[in-house]
């Protein structure tokens, strides 16, 4: 696989892991007993900790991408070849 394919696969894994990690450890305003007042969503997280979640997402995605790369590199799973004349 080329560099572009590897980047595309990593980004796909990264986004999938991000959506799995986002709800972990969040506390909503209604769960915390905080009144948002008019116009505030009671289901909004109090402190989403996005930086920590982005870092966690990145290393988990890197581990998963490395496993996939090694599986494909050592032909543990073979993929069918793509057509060479893409037009």
Asked if residue 31 is part of any domain, the answer here is: yes
Asked if residue 40 is part of any domain, the answer here is: yes
Q: Does residue 18 contact residue 57 with C-beta atoms inside 8 Å?
A: yes
Q: Work out how many domains the chain is built from and give that number.
A: 1
| Nearest-angstrom CA–CA distance, 24 and 36 | 22
Provide the domain limits for residue 12. 3-73
Locate 43 and state its tokens. 């289901």
Asked if residue 67 is part of any domain, the answer here is: yes
Dihedral class, residue 45 (left if φ above 0, else alpha if ψ from -120 to 50, else beta):
beta
| Nearest-angstrom CA–CA distance, 30 and 78 | 50
Asked if residue 68 is part of any domain, the answer here is: yes
Asked if residue 23 is part of any domain, the answer here is: yes
| Nearest-angstrom CA–CA distance, 41 and 73 | 48
* pLDDT tens, N- to C-terminus, the chain (87 residues): 799 999 999 999 999 999 999 999 999 988 999 888 788 888 899 999 999 999 999 999 999 999 999 998 998 988 788 777 765
């Amino acid at each position: 696989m080329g560099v572009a394919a590897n980047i595309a696969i990593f980004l796909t894994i990264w986004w999938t892991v991000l959506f799995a990690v986002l709800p972990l450890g969040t506390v909503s305003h209604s769960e915390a007993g905080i009144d948002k007042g008019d116009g505030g969503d009671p289901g909004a997280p109090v402190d989403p900790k996005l930086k920590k979640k982005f870092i966690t997402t990145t290393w988990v995605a890197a581990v998963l991408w490395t496993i996939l790369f090694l599986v494909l590199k050592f032909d543990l799973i073979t993929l069918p070849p793509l057509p060479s004349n893409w037009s």
